[in-house]
Amino acid sequence: MPRKRPKGVIGVGWACFASSVLGRTEHVPMSEDYPDTVVRRTFFEAGGDLGWRLSALETPREGFTRWKIVVITGSPSWAEYWAPVLAALPQDREMVVVDRPGFGASQPDDHVPDLETQALALSPLLKAKPGQKILLVGQSYGAAIATLMARLNPRRVRGLVLLSGYYAEPGPTARWLLDAGGKALSIIPRDLRNAVLEVTGQPAQFDTVRQALAQLDLPIHVVHGDKDDFAPLEAAERLVAETRPRRSMRFARVDGADHFLNDGPTEVLLEALDECLPPPLRLPAWRLPKVELPDFAALAPSLRNLRLWPQPAPRRGMKTADA
């Protein structure tokens, strides 16, 4: 049975300091919980010739899967907290969850404040197999980046999910963390420092995200817990009310859920993602028309005297059968 990752502000904060002291990028080593056949770490080169090596967790699949779910995590960005969801994913789908630039095992060491640069760097995640469809999920701070990724790659993304999205309006817990973290930037670990810096700089860029949402020609799903004290539910409702997308924009309120839907019961999150996938196409059952064949037994006597081929002309001097 895999151990639970650290939870809560105190638990995660302590895990950050302990991992920093030990030189680990994972708070709990992934290899101790899941075999590579279930969840494995992978690396890829950032898009846009940025020269960064980025890290992600993925679900290995031998055969073809119709859907690939790409998750852009929040801030701090740790794919390891999605490991239980990855492990519980049905075999007919695959999922990849990224450590964004500046977090976990991903480069660079410093934070990347520009949202569009991050969207460009993460675009290689949207490569799919022939015939495969991509559902792009942006969690918390990652919702804004996923939106810009969808605009950059309109032909690759078949649906966008904004999960517990952070829309430049911190809730009470997030506001307290940003204030405390801003006063301790020189002593907190790298991932926490980068998180404070990038979240603080998001509001000035959010108009670009709003414009991108209105330009997207694909289904958009906004999924938010009603107990979220990091990113207020009201901000998500306001975003949906004020956005006029080219296609549908669905709002799904998850009763009793907080900001970390991926850390709750996996069934709740998987069910929420299922509702963001279109139902499989069902072709109508075509039937050939029923043809009534003639009764050949009844026609047999008349068919015996029927000449289907012309009779050859008799030779000269030869008597016919009628002569």
Rounded to 5 degrees, φ, ψ at 136 are -100, 125
Cα separation, 228 vs 172, in Å, equals: 10
Cα–Cα distance measured from residue 269 to residue 163, given in angstroms and rounded to the nearest whole number: 10
Q: Give the lowest-confidence range in 113-127, 129-143, 270-284.
A: 270-284
**What pLDDT is stored for residue 301 in this prediction?**
64
Q: Tell me the C-alpha to C-alpha distance, in Å, between residue 257 and each of 97, 150, 236, 308.
A: 21, 26, 14, 82
Q: Domain coordinates of the chain in residue numbers? A: 38-274
Q: Give CB contacts under 8 A, 24+ apart, made by 168-173.
A: 168/202, 168/203, 168/206, 168/235, 169/231, 169/232, 169/235, 170/199, 170/230, 170/231, 171/228, 171/229, 171/230, 171/231, 171/232, 171/259, 172/229, 173/9, 173/229, 173/230
**pLDDT tens digits, residue range 162-204?**
999 999 999 999 999 999 999 999 999 899 999 999 999 999 9
Note the pLDDT tens digit of each residue in 38-63.
999 999 999 999 999 999 999 999 88
Q: What is the pLDDT of residue 30?
A: 74
Which pTM was predicted? 0.83
Lowest mean pLDDT among 7-11, 112-116, 143-147, 253-257: 7-11
Highest CATH level, class, for 38-274: alpha beta
Q: Which amino acid is at 1?
A: M
Q: Report the distance separating Cα 231 and Cα 246, nearest Å.
A: 25
The interaxial angle of helices 115-122 and 206-215, nearest 10 deg, is 50
